[in-house]
Structure 1
Amino acid sequence: MIYPQLKNTPIKEIIFSISYEEIVDKDCFDKFVNLDSIKNNFNDIKPSVTNEFEVSNGGVRILKDNSGFHLRNKNEVLQMRKGSLSYHHLNSYRGFGEILTSLLEYWEIFDQITKDNLTITNISVRYINVIEIDKSNPASHLVQLYPKQSDDREVLNFQSSVRFSYKDNSDFIVNAVSTKPKEDIVLLDISVSSKLKPFGENKIDLEKQFLPLQNIKNRAFFDSITAKALIKYINQEN
């Protein structure tokens, strides 16, 4: 389906992620972040800690994994965790294909360092939108996930979460969340994920696997905003 082109979009952060099955040695993460090409692109590289919760008869135990890294520059973040690699684009819009190209470039470098045919289990895209609201444009006039607001009440805060799949694309899971963290904005957080089936000895064509997610995230976004919001972003200049 063809969707309208917006002169301005409410997108503030875009995240593309790849999850894999194997436990990669910390040495591989260290080699990756010490490559000249990586250090030249990311001026802020820090170790990251992931907490895991283990439940047993003795209670809950927190396990800390510090093998990952958080890499950042002005408009990009690369998050490396146990079992996943995610690429974030911040502060502005960037085309789906461009972001996918960047993610796959970093993934290819990482894959070469591990020297292993990593078993990819899941891929996802996530778009975090910030929608400005005011008294003449309350949340329910712009975001359809949020229940209609009557004139005799002022909603101070809310959170709405919907997890679903389209019947004609049931292999893809959509998670759409709308929240009102501040008086003048609504966050519309839309993610689309797909579990990948084993491909045997054949290498997965990741670009081919990611491409269907683009149309589904577009569909979910336009299903989540009102006609009034659509007119606003079609007419509003950057």
Structure 2
Amino acid sequence: MMKRIAIIPARGGSKRIPRKNIKEFLGKPIIAYSIEAALESELFDEVMVSTDDDEIANVARAYGASIPFIRSKSASDDFATLADVAKEVLSQYNDNGEYFDWACCILPTAPFVSGDKLIRSFSILFDISADSLICVKKNSYPIQRSLIESNGFIELMFPENSKERSQDLEETYQDAGQFYWVKTNIFLEKGNRLSCGNTGKFVLPEMEVQDIDNYQDWELAELKFKVLSRRVVSYD
């Protein structure tokens, strides 16, 4: 039987927005949206939060997540990557004799995640025989026309594309920063979600993507969420 785990990484040391992972987002702690989406999907044998913080752990438990162990100091500093956290979690479960075929890492500040998105993204893995999946949004402007500053002046980063029509340039995407699927055995061997075999994509509408790195981002995310709650969004 195939086993799946949802890993929600939520350390206590957020700098730009203090206590960001449990800050109230339209009526409840923002991490609650990620936990509830994972539980709502009914995809997972385990929905866990990896944290080094007692208050975050208590909030996560209140919304139905498990906290089987406290995150190590080495995986809690400013230099620890998402892959470092996921590897620590999976390794600790393995040491306890519990193994998972698939892991989904859901960010704790991703209120636009839903159970439906998780279900449909997981089905894509099998439709295209992927080993991992990342949710993305299309870049609204061709990055091949990007501008850079050089010696105080602006110039094209890729001047060879200066005469190309926008519609003829290859479509590009960026990480939506919401969730990632990985086949655990390949991930533990390779150690990076984007070098984990064949990586598929789950495309999100621009309206459902918002980095939350500062207070202005937070306000924009709340505005988008309010608008989305009033209408249905279609997916590619």
TM more than 0.5: no
Taking structure 1 as the reference length, the TM-score comes to 0.28
Q: Which has the higher strand share?
A: 1
Structure showing the higher helix proportion among its residues? 2
Q: Which has the larger radius of gyration?
A: 1
The alignment's TM-score, normalised by the length of structure 2, stands at 0.28
